[in-house]
Amino acid sequence: MHDAAGPQDACGVFGIWAPGEDIANLTYYGLYALQHRGQEAAGMAVADGRTIVVFKELGLVAQVFDERTLSSLSGHLAVGHTRYSTTGSSTWENAQPSYRTAKLGGGVALAHNGNLTNILELAEGLGDNRDAGMHATTDSDLITALLAEHPGPTLVEAALDVLPRLRGAFSLAFSDAATVYAARDTHGIHPLVLGRLDGRTEGGAEHPSGSWVVASETCALDIVGATFVREVEPGELLVIDEAGPRSLRFAPADRHGCLFEFVYLARPDTTIAGRSVHATRVEVGRTLAREAPVDADLVIPVPQSGVPAAVGYAEASGIPFGEGLVKNSYVGRTFIQPSQKIRQRGIRLKLNPLREVIEGRRLVVVDDSIVRGNTQRALVRMLREAGAAEVHVRISSPPVRWPCFYGIDFATRAELIASGLGVEEIRASLGADSLAYVSLDGLVDASRQPANELCRACFDGVYPVPLMDSDRLGGRHQLEGMGSGAATGAALAEAFSRRVVVGMNGADPSPDALDELAGLAGLDTLGEMDTLGEMAAIDGPAADVAPAGSRSS
């Protein structure tokens, strides 16, 4: 199949309000716990009631921050972020927290997990003010700009006006110099939780309002010693200051939590909507064993993502569980690498088969998902070379057939192996002896969530947030060609060209695609696009775009 940029989760966010605590270190530990959600950049904004200091850089959390840097960041509140780029290139300017000087004084720092689906509409509304920041090209910076440019006298009033205008997925932690805010989109697509710290200072005193933490996952609460209080509700704005947290409603809740969080994105030691992610994955393995039995000698997981489901499969099938693959723990997850070339090298760097365990054995190999098939294809080949007699692949999620527009970067159907091939064709492509996926109903049942409260769009194509053609067209780089917020035909043609220039599966683009691209480039405004729907249907893979530059001073 084609080589294209891979599916990634948008990011991890963390916020804390804790007078008397070592804010920078706690934020560092929280981000460390959320490192799996993004490995391109990390940053934090620390405030002391008067000023906000933002420090961010490309790299892992442990690479970005050292003791000297952390000791220089003092205050009683902070927001932090780990990033994978699903909107905008992987540049320093696009690292978060995003920061803007507010129209009425002070500043706004914001960390965002998710993806908006009305980016062009929001950018047009900002006009020239979109370029007043630090040349970021992300939907996160757009949200920050909308908040900072709002004429309301307080950030609360700005948020209550801006948040209902955002479409798509957003779990936010943001702040001014004195207050931490948290908000979650009306569908609650990605998780966001509230926790409470003990709040006791070295002298033994506790702040009367307590100390509070918001984070993408409960595992980040655990690492800083916070107690889980509750989820931030869909459509809720939390305001956390010296009076403690108070809840405001900016939109009614229409819950559709991301089912893929249970499959892969969240850490297994996280709890989502009251359900343990680890327990869900083990139960999915049991379900998979019942739905797709096979006569084999050993069940082995693809570490680490396939381990819980493999344990469940072995339990339900009675086939022994074994460790047949060794993982290099110092290699990042291939799923969230920004370059396909890096990803292909990473597959061979991260896993090595144990020949003495698998030689001559009939193997059941359990993994969490197949998106492009590159990892599984290389894995099957390695196992056969190591002497496996048979290789039966079992996948603890249904086939991923549809793009995600809410913060997981498999944004075109052409990138997804299951969008054009049936199960038997995929099996042949991987070179496996057999292949089976868990059913969608089986996965939903294991999550113990009501089916109508889940976003399952990547599996069934039913999107809880309606999508405009322009949302589908622009992709992750759609803001990068826009000047002063104006969505010109030339800018959108540039965004569109990133999709069709390499054509379907790496072939040359079709003459029709090139004709429509030329027609788009001649348009002056977004309103002239009569053929936008047809062009959006040309679903070629996104070309890799080189970073636009290095850190600015």
- CA-based nearest residue to 41, from 4, 107, 2, 88: 88
Alpha carbon distance 306, 321 (integer Å): 12
Long-range interactions of 532-536: CB distance < 8 A, separation 24+? 532/469, 532/470, 532/473, 533/469, 535/469, 535/473, 535/496, 536/469, 536/470, 536/472, 536/473
CB 211 within 8 A of CB 19: yes
The one catalytic residue in 11, 219, 404, 455 is 11
The pairing of strands 298-301 and 362-367 is: parallel
Phi (first) and psi of residue 491, to 5 degrees:
-65, -45
- CA-based nearest residue to 409, from 116, 120, 87: 87
Q: What angle do CA 10, 12, 17 make, to 5 degrees?
A: 145
Whether omega before 541 lies within 30 degrees of 0, making that bond cis, reads: no
CB 17 within 8 A of CB 197: no
Residues 6+ apart with CB under 8 A from 228: 193, 194, 195, 218, 221, 271
For residue 310, what are the CA distances in angstroms to 342, 389, 395?
Answer: 27, 19, 10
Residue 219 annotated as catalytic: no
> Could you give the residue numbers annotated as active site?
11
